Amino acid sequence: MEKLNCVIIDDEPLARDVVESFAKAVPFLNVLTTFEDPVDALLFVKDQPVDIVFSDIEMPKLNGLELVRALGNSMV
């Protein structure tokens, strides 16, 4: 089975680490990287093939819903 590439975006380090631990335990997921800053994540996703994004909803600079809209526009 081909692995799905994923990224994790959360401004809280503990939450980011917990999600990363769970994702790494799933055999078909490949965690490419994690981000504290959603803007950095957007720039990364524009250049990398990403299948799944795990994101917090409440973050500074760009909330999770704004991030999803921006990701949708950049992944089309």
Mean pLDDT of 49-75: 86
Angle at 9 between CA 59 and CA 50, to 5 degrees: 140
Cα 1 from Cα 54, distance rounded (Å): 21
pLDDT confidence tier of residue 68, bands split at 50, 70 and 90: confident
Pick from 61, 16, 25: nearest CA to 8: 16
Tokens of 50: 């990403």
pLDDT confidence tier of residue 40, bands split at 50, 70 and 90: very high
pLDDT at 73 over 80: no
pLDDT at 76 over 80: no
Full set of structural domains in the chain with CATH: 4-75 (3.40.50.2300)
Enumerate the β-bridge partners of residue 12: none
Collapsed DSSP state (helix, strand, coil) of residue 60:
coil
